[in-house]
Each structure stands twice: as C-alpha cells, then as structure tokens.
Amino acid sequence: MSIMAQTLQLAFKIALVWAGGFLLAVAVRAILPEKVGFNLGAGSGELFVPYSRIGFWTCLLAAVTVTALVVVRAMLVDFGLRQMR
C-alpha cells in the first residue's frame, strides 16, 4: 500500500473516531439530566458538577486518546519498527 493510501486510511479512521466521540458525547449530554451530579468542596463554597458534563468530556477525551494512539502507531511504523502481534 502506498504512503498516500495509508495516510488517507489513517485520516479516515481518525475522522470516524472523532465523529463517534462527538455523537456519543452529545447523546450522553442529552440523556443525563442537568440537575444530577455531585458537589466538590472548595475553599469559598461548593462547586456542582453535573454527570452530563462529566460524560461529555469523558467521550471527547477518549476520542483524543484514540487519535493520539493511532498517530503514534503510524509514526512508529514509519520509523521502521515492526508491528507486534
């Protein structure tokens, strides 16, 4: 497979992961109620953190993590390291 084909395939995989992450994040935000969560004690008061926001940012962090892993794997292959199976 040519380098251009591999690059396009990698870009497509990353786009799919990001699209899935955004869809999952939006679904989590829509499903979980805004008034359910937990309080974090702060020095001057308490900070309310709703579960819907935690789920949203967790899904986006997962998309970033998968993207980073795919890019690092592609870089390692470019440097000539063999794939472990």
- The domain spans of the chain are 53-85
Q: What is the model's pLDDT at position 79?
A: 79
Kindly state the average pLDDT of the residues 11-21: 81
Convert the pLDDT of each residue in 49-80 to its tens digit: 787 777 778 777 877 887 788 778 777 877 77
Residue with tokens 């709703």: 50
This prediction has a pTM of: 0.58
Q: How far apart are CA 63 and CA 50, in angstroms?
A: 21
Residue 70 DSSP symbol:
H
Give strand pairing partners of 47.
40
Q: How far apart are CA 73 and CA 84, in angstroms?
A: 11
Q: Is the four-CA dihedral 72, 73, 77, 81 of positive or negative sign? A: positive
